[in-house]
Amino acid sequence: MVVDPLCPLCGESDECTLHMLVKCREAKMIWYISPLRLEVERYDGETFHDWCCSVRKIFKEVAWWDIFWSIAWGVWLKRNRWCFEGKRYEMSEVIHRAVGIVGEFEQAQAISNINPPPPAFDVSWKPPMEGVIKINSDAAVFSPSGVGLGGVMHDYVGDVVVSTCLKLEGKFEVDVVEALAMRHALNI
């Protein structure tokens, strides 16, 4: 596949990850006018990874890096929108969306810290109330074809009143087999 190596946004240099996300004229401007005020030329690196490591020596705050990665993603989306849709994102739109995403994430984190998670369900088996029979059913799928259906009925003390099993030939989807097991247990 023949691909033009020139950057589709500026046409001034071969496109690589470092150029696309950092060195391209518009990318540089986005980094500079963003809340990070990043002057990309002040940092060294032959690759995007090396360049990020150089930046990391100066900036350590997690919140700063949240915005950094969101802006990098925005620059990537801007490039792709131009290459694949022929549409432009304005630099201000890239920055606004990036900062907005970080703000939404921080707000969601704050809400999740205020509202504790719902209590876990008690998954231990409990007998039914007096006068009621509780039915538990299950199914198994055998290879190459065939299924097993089973059921157990308990009274209010927890004693087994009835148990049943049945083998059927054929191929069935798992949810169908589970439904067949419950139907078989109810019929018994």
Which pLDDT score is estimated for 11? 86
What type of residue sits at position 140?
A
d(CA 76, CA 110): 28
What type of residue sits at position 77?
L
pLDDT band at 119 (very low <50, low <70, confident <90, very high): confident
What are 1-57's pLDDT values in tens digits? 687 889 888 888 888 999 999 999 999 999 999 999 999 999 999 999 999 999 999
Per DSSP, the three-state class of 168 is strand
For 136, 154, 158, 167, the CA distances from 125, given in Å and listed in that order, are: 10, 11, 9, 26
- pLDDT of 115 above 90: no
Which pLDDT score is estimated for 126? 87
What are 123-175's pLDDT values in tens digits? 788 889 999 999 999 999 887 788 999 999 999 999 999 999 999 998 888 88
d(CA 63, CA 97): 16
pLDDT band at 99 (very low <50, low <70, confident <90, very high): very high
Which pLDDT score is estimated for 26? 92
Between CA 16 and CA 23, with CA 17 as vertex, the angle to 5 degrees is 85
d(CA 10, CA 16): 13
User: Global pTM?
Assistant: 0.58
**The CA-based dihedral angle spanning residues 106, 112, 114, 116, taken in that order and rounded to the nearest 10 degrees:** -160
